[in-house]
Structure formats: C-alpha cells, structure tokens
Amino acid sequence: MARTECNCNDKDVGKTCLRLLFTIIFSLALSSACNSAPLQLDKIKLPPGFSIAVYTAKVPGARALALGAKGTLFVGSRSEGKVYAIVDRNNDQQADEVLVIASGLRSPNGVAFRAGALYVAEINRVLRFDNIETQLHSPSAPVVVNASFPDKSHHGWKFIRFGPDGKLYVPVGAPCNVCEEKDPRFASIMRMDPDGSNLEIFARGVRNTVGFDWHPRNGELWFTDNGRDWLGDNQPPDELNRAPQAGLHFGFPYWHGRDTADPEYGVKRRRDEFILPEMELGAHVAALGMRFYTGKMFPASYQEQIFIAEHGSWNRSVPSGYRITLVRLKGNRTDSYETFAEGWLEKGSAWGRPVDLQVMPDGSLLVSDDKAGAIYRISYRP
C-alpha cells in the first residue's frame, strides 16, 4: 500500500486522515472476517412459500455471476483475484464442483458470457476465455479484448453484461468519493463491440454502478448506482436509474438522488439538466447487483419485477442494507420498494453480504455473498 502522509494539525486535512484511517481499518476487518462466520440461513426471512438453501459455500469472495450456455455458473471476485466455474452435473440444485479457471488477476469482479466465451473485466482491461465450457479444467490463455480503460483502482472494479444490442457494457466508476474529472470516461457506463472495437460512452454522471439489466419487454437499461459518502447517515440515497437511450447524464457529481445538491459541486449545474432516479433506495445500502425476474417459478406478481442485492453500509452509524430488496413496477415506472430477504445483518453485526443475482433456467434465484464466500439458491413452492 502506498504511504499516505497527513498533517493532522490542519482541521480539514485531519478529518480526511480520520476518514482514510477508518476506511483502512474497516477494509482490513472485513477481509479478516471473510469466511470466519458460519452460514446462518435459519436467520433469513423470506415471504411465505419461499426458501433459501446453500448452492455452494466454497467460493471465497464471490461477486458477479454469469451463466454459461451449458449451465456453468461463472463467478468473479475482487481481492482474491480469481474467477470461478461452478458445475452442477446431476441437476440437484447444488454445486458438484468449484473450479478456479483464472487467478492472479486484478479485481476480476465482472463476468459475462457470449457465444461460448467468458468475458472477464479487470481494472483497466477486459479479457476473453474462448470455448471455456469445453476446457474448464485447463482453460486456454485469455485474449485481451480491450485494455484502454483507466488504471485507477478506486471504484475501478467492474460489472459487465451484454445488452440486447449485442454490445458489452462496461462501467467506469468515479476515482473518488466525489470529484470532477477531466477524463470523460470516469463516472460513466461505456459499451463496445464483442471484439473490443467501437468503445463509446453510453451514459454519464454515474458514480459507481455494480449492477444493471435490461427490461425484458422494451430493452431499456436499468442500473443501480451507489451514492456518495460523508453527507450523514441518511443522505444521499443510493439510486435505481433507467436509461432508455444513449447520451443521458444522471447527475454525479453535481446532484444526488432527486433532491440533494452536492455541497461543493451542486452550484455548477441545475437539477433539470439531469435524469433523476426512478427510485431512491436506502442511504449507504450499497445497492449492487440487480435483475428483472424472468423465470416461471415465482408467483406471477414477481414477473418482470426488479430484485436488488444490497451489499450493506460501511460508514453508517447504524448499519443498513445487507438484504435483497424488490422494486415493483407499474407499466414502465417504479411503484414500490420493499424488503424481500433479510437476516444477513443481526444486532448490527453482519455474517454475510449479498452481491449479485442470477435467474436460473428453472426459475430459482441465485445470490452471491462475498463475505461468506457462498452462493445461495432461493426457490418457491406454494
């Protein structure tokens, strides 16, 4: 870790020092706690008829999820530097084998699958593992698809997915808590062709999205966005946004949520210059993965509704998040925001942190947990 020097006799700089120290201590504590607490699925509360089970508990740092054409579940990670392949050979809804198909990578959080190939996003580049499901035990060396992304690690880990237009969407988070950057790629969602060409900015003013999906009927992009820190326990909110077209600006760093002007940058731009969130989520809940539910297992009232994995707060005096929420739509607009699954946080202490979601062919919903190093399966039986 690079050395950071602070003159803590300066009042403002001293506050920055304390925040930096708090962040480092929290990160170290979280890392050391990973996998140390037993799974407590009996604590998870779900609506009637729903149940949760362990799909596998052998995926340290499990983050983003992607499903292969032959049913292989691919899982990214961050500090572990690994990409996993999970195989359920006998279709009993439990993993039979967990393989490490890549290691030594730089925060390979994002994974996406297309045409037999697995795409993996590091901080500054996207790799491609061709014909991956035919060689899980000895993958070929990856192809570098595009290595032109910024090389800053702050919010540099990426969630990637292919859109209905066939392009790979790759976000670039802001390299800060809140700042103006001259490089227009920061605080954006970019997209490119599968071969890495025609890289362009699709959306601006996006602080740090780690989850998005497209509406199954109209193909519009929806995404979560993490709000800035240090404006208090209850502001600003995390966001659920809708991008019906390219070229829109979603407010960062000037505007947060629907009603919060940034204390430093808000005077520079008007609120009506930006696209406001479709739904304000909880403050500091760290809304990450999101999926439209397109399966057939859950009741009809869940069809085409949005599930969100809330990773949980790290700097709130009373922790929030650590749950799965449900945003219900009426038509193409949000109608409500409610808790669907909770219990990873108990009496202010968390034993798990949901990260991403994957709707499976049978209609069940998988949930990754990077603190417990596990994948859960949520199913429904009347």
pLDDT digits (tens, 9 = 90+) for 10-22: 444 344 444 444 4
Same domain, 23 and 91: no
Top pLDDT among 6 and 131 is at 131
Element (H, E) at 220: none
> Does residue 146 lie within any of the structural domains?
yes
> Does residue 185 lie within any of the structural domains?
yes
pLDDT digits (tens, 9 = 90+) for 189-208: 999 999 999 999 999 999 99
Q: Could you tell me which of 185, 211, 181 has the C-alpha nearest to residue 199?
A: 185
pLDDT of res. 335:
98
pLDDT of res. 1:
32
Sheet of 117-121: strands edge to edge?
A: 110-114, 117-121, 126-129, 143-146
Measured between alpha carbons, how far is 287 from 289 in angstroms, rounded to an integer?
Answer: 7
Percent of the chain with pLDDT over 70: 90
Burial 114-124 (b: 16+ CB within 10 A, else e): beebbbbbbbb
Start-to-end C-alpha separation, the chain: 52
> Does residue 213 lie within any of the structural domains?
yes
CA distance to 76, 207, 344, 348, 369, per residue, from 38 (Å): 22, 34, 11, 16, 13
Same domain, 115 and 257: yes
Same domain, 14 and 83: no
* pLDDT at 27 exceeding the cut of 60: no
pLDDT of res. 16:
42
* pLDDT at 341 exceeding the cut of 80: yes
Same domain, 11 and 121: no
pLDDT of res. 34:
42
Measured between alpha carbons, how far is 189 from 252 in angstroms, rounded to an integer?
Answer: 13
Same domain, 45 and 25: no
Q: For residue 76, which phi and psi values (nearest 5 degrees)?
A: -90, 175
pLDDT of res. 155:
98
Same domain, 219 and 325: yes
Same domain, 129 and 242: yes
Tell me the two tokens of residue 171.
Answer: 């976000």
Same domain, 110 and 198: yes
* pLDDT at 23 exceeding the cut of 60: no
Residues 6+ apart with CB under 8 A from 362: 93, 295, 297
* pLDDT at 221 exceeding the cut of 90: yes
pLDDT of res. 37:
58
* pLDDT at 97 exceeding the cut of 50: yes
pLDDT digits (tens, 9 = 90+) for 165-198: 999 999 999 999 999 999 999 999 999 999 999 9
pLDDT of res. 6:
36
Same domain, 47 and 27: no
> Does residue 143 lie within any of the structural domains?
yes
Number of domains composing the chain: 2
Tell me, rounded to whole angstroms, the distance of Cα 61 from its chain centroid.
Answer: 13
Q: Could you tell me which of 148, 118, 145, 123 has the C-alpha nearest to residue 133?
A: 118
Q: Position 180: which residue type?
A: E
pLDDT of res. 8:
35
Q: How many helices (H) and strands (E) does the chain have?
A: 1, 29
Q: Over the chain, what is the mean pLDDT?
A: 92
Same domain, 21 and 119: no
Same domain, 141 and 16: no
> Does residue 1 lie within any of the structural domains?
no
pTM over 0.85: yes
Same domain, 96 and 25: no
Q: For residue 300, which phi and psi values (nearest 5 degrees)?
A: -60, -25
Q: Containing domain of residue 240, as a range? A: 41-380
pLDDT of res. 38:
76
> Does residue 198 lie within any of the structural domains?
yes
> Does residue 141 lie within any of the structural domains?
yes
Q: Could you tell me which of 173, 165, 128 has the C-alpha nearest to residue 149?
A: 173
Which CATH number characterizes residue 340's domain? 2.120.10.30
